[in-house]
Chain A
């Protein structure tokens, strides 16, 4: 299965996004479809999954929390968590 990772702009969140992506691969495996940085709307990171559950969302948020803590950017990653059916993967 392929994984799409897009960093649209190199900024203070780029390194954290890559670190997070590595952890999400370990956490979610084939369920992870794409991780894209985003500057539009209310979110700055889009995470696309094959199947989404409340449990998955909680696990992703906990992982984000750890990455934010380690990178000194608490509260800065605002993710939009979607299923493939909810979005056209660009």
Chain B
């Protein structure tokens, strides 16, 4: 399985989140932000281990193990933010809460920062679609 397609999708989802925000589609912003990070994490795990858990909960847990093992200084904060975005995505896509503009903006800002942090952390700056 090639990780590059997941990295490409990560960028496409982030782009989509930016566009969705600009036209006020706040539900979609939250979903796209999560999918962007999910694709990035999948790509990273595939690069490292040749595969990644299908279920999102297991994916987060596996990624948490990886960051801890690599002794990343801010790994707890990274996991905490990823989990918040994942839980918000579940609320938005499957349950009864609706985000407002501020929440969508906060999640988008956090996603941009996380995205940049993970790209730098795993030396993905040379990807052709950057």
Q: B-contacting residues of A (Cβ < 8 Å)?
A: 41-44, 52-54, 57-58, 61, 65, 69, 74-76, 78-83, 85-86
23 A-B residue pairs with Cβ-Cβ distance under 8 Å, sorted by A, are: A41-B55, A42-B55, A43-B57, A54-B91, A54-B99, A57-B87, A57-B88, A58-B84, A61-B80, A61-B83, A61-B84, A69-B76, A74-B64, A74-B68, A75-B64, A75-B83, A76-B64, A78-B57, A78-B61, A78-B83, A81-B91, A82-B95, A85-B96
Count, A-B residue pairs, CB within 8 A: 58
> How many residues of B are counted as interface, with CB atoms below 8 angstroms from the partner's CB atoms?
26
A74 to B65, CA, bound (A): 9
Q: How far is the CB of B65 from chain A (nearest CB, A)?
A: 8
Interface of B is mostly: helix
* B interface, CB within 8 angstroms of A: 55-58, 60-61, 63-65, 68, 75-76, 79-80, 83-84, 86-88, 90-91, 95-97, 99, 103
Q: Is the interface of A mostly helix, strand, loop or mixed?
A: mixed
**A42 x B56 contact (CB < 8 A):** yes
Q: In the complex, A41→B91 CA distance in Å?
A: 15
